Amino acid sequence: MPLGKSLATWCQEYPLIEELVALRPLSWFNPGIAPAAEALGDVGLSQADVDAASARLARFAPYIARAFPETAGSGGIIESSLVALPHLQALLTERHDLSLDGALWLKQDSHLPISGSIKARGGIYEVLKHAEDLALAEGLLRLDDDYATLDSDAARAFFGRHKIAVGSTGNLGLSIGIISARLGFQATVHMSADARQWKKDKLRAHGVEVVEYACDYSVAVAEGRKQASADPFCHFIDDENSPDLFLGYAVAAERLKAQLAAAGIRVDAEHPLFVYLPCGVGGGPGGVAFGLKLAFGDAVHCLFAEPTHSPCMLLGVYSGLHDEVAVQDFGIDNLTAADGLAVGRPSGFVGRAMQRLIDGYYTVSDEELFRLLALLQSSEGLRLEPSALAGVPGMLQVLGEQQGYRQRLGLTPERLARATHLVWATGGSMVPETEMSAYLARGQALLQAERQ
Ligand SMILES: *Cc1c(COP(=O)(O)O)cnc(C)c1O
């Protein structure tokens, strides 16, 4: 047991650990939440850093538009759409016998161009930043150049002398591998055992080296980090500790703010916005939540969602041990079909930086992820990978909670009636058809069993 204490002692001091170990779905609303104005200072990054990341993405837009023609319509800006889920909301209302006030929406990062997951934000951003740093230092590029010139044999020959490496459960490797290979870098992805075969195949087809491990994500990251540190020409993208990845994700918030305004959705104290973010190691949801807190302050409420078999961030924040503890230390197996969330040890950077800014955490069983996958398809015609469904039950957690959370934060019935609940759909558009059919069949079978 961690820190030399028995499980019984842990459970006595931290009663939720018993529930976590029993793999029971649960929610925990953070008693340490603080006003954004105060807690944003914990992060060590600021609005100016997010603005710089946003400006960098704008500089690269002409390159992205040229290298990835599917982004030409948005001028090389990698962004996803916002859609309402009225039919799913009606279905959930009926299934859970709750009156679901407010409106349920979906942020479709599942359909982000280039790599079909939220990793097309942070992962691609960090590779672009590294490429820019190298090219500026080499005199190959000036800040006011048209970056489309990087789509040239000369630039590819230059980047080809450099390497990029990353450890991944699948999607981060996919996004970093694709953009790195397109720029000309030698890319290596260290894949954990959870990674789907099609993700490895796709990367190899792009000329990326894929190293496979029989172990979980933390081992793949540690191994990748070790190999890269021996090579001065190799940049290791460290998903457990990277401020650059984090900032790439954070840019999502200003884009969302514009989309909400365009849809006529108000966000302020009287019109709260709840955002439900599937969490693996924490960089993606942490970065997005950081941006949201900068953009909306206390009017936005962020909750992280994890599989019952991989509740690493909940465990780390709840126990205060952060990355000093892994779910496996408590005998939780970290085996889940939600491969994007199959992480046993959280990012210590994100857990500590964001611990006063995240309203709550909850867990979802794999079976429920599959049921929700089938429900979303039948109600709205939308298809996501299992990880990406974890945000869907968030609204039920908030409206059904009995921990005094809503009262504590002044979330009155009147305010909740005007609330927007946003599910962050983190991946799925690139899942092969046969794989998706199997997911849907499994979800439908589980729904059928539930009705009997
Ligand atoms: C990576 C990923 C997440 C979570 O992001 P982290 O940075 O690992 O917390 C959620 N959903 C999907 C589909 C992902 O690929």
Show me where the domains of the chain are located. Answer: 2-46+69-115+246-451, 118-240
Residue 225 identity (one-letter amino acid) = R
Neighbouring C-alpha atoms within 13 Å toward the C-beta of 12: 5
CATH, range 118-240: 3.40.50.1100
Task: Give the tens place of pLDDT for each residue, 260-306.
Answer: 999 999 999 999 999 999 999 999 999 999 999 999 999 999 999 99
Common-topology check for domains 2-46+69-115+246-451 and 118-240: yes
Residue 1's pLDDT is 62
CB contact at 8 A, 310 and 342:
yes
Q: Which residues of the chain have pLDDT under 70?
A: 1-2
**What's the full length of the chain, in residues?**
452
Show the DSSP H helices in 184-300 as ranges.
Answer: 197-205, 217-229, 243-250, 252-262, 283-296
Pocket-testing residue among 119, 174, 314, 361, ligand 1, by greatest number of atoms within 8 A of Cβ: 119
Give, using CA atoms, the residue closest to atom 1 of ligand 1.
340
CB contact at 8 A, 267 and 308:
no
Give, using CA atoms, the residue closest to atom 14 of ligand 1.
340
Give, using CA atoms, the residue closest to atom 12 of ligand 1.
340
Ligand 1 centre distance from Cα of residue 287 (Å): 11
Ligand 1 centre distance from Cα of residue 241 (Å): 15
CATH, range 2-46+69-115+246-451: 3.40.50.1100
Ligand 1 centre distance from Cα of residue 413 (Å): 32
With 0.95 as the threshold, say if the pTM is over it.
yes
Give, using CA atoms, the residue closest to atom 2 of ligand 1.
340
Q: Which helix (H) or strand (E) holds 316?
A: helix 312-319
For 49, the token pair is 């850093």
Question: Which atom number of ligand 1 is nearest to the Cα of residue 287?
Answer: 7
Residues 6+ apart with CB under 8 A from 388: 110, 117, 278, 340, 425, 426, 427, 428
CB contact at 8 A, 293 and 35:
no
For 149, the token pair is 């010139």
Pocket of ligand 1 (CB under 6 A): 117-119, 171-172, 278-285, 340-341, 385, 387-388, 426-427
Give, using CA atoms, the residue closest to atom 8 of ligand 1.
280
Question: Backbone dihedral region of 364: left (phi > 0), alpha (psi from -120 to 50 degrees) or beta?
Answer: beta
Q: What is the CA radius of gyration of the chain?
A: 21
273 DSSP β-pair partners: 300, 420
Question: Which atom number of ligand 1 is nearest to the Cα of residue 245?
Answer: 7
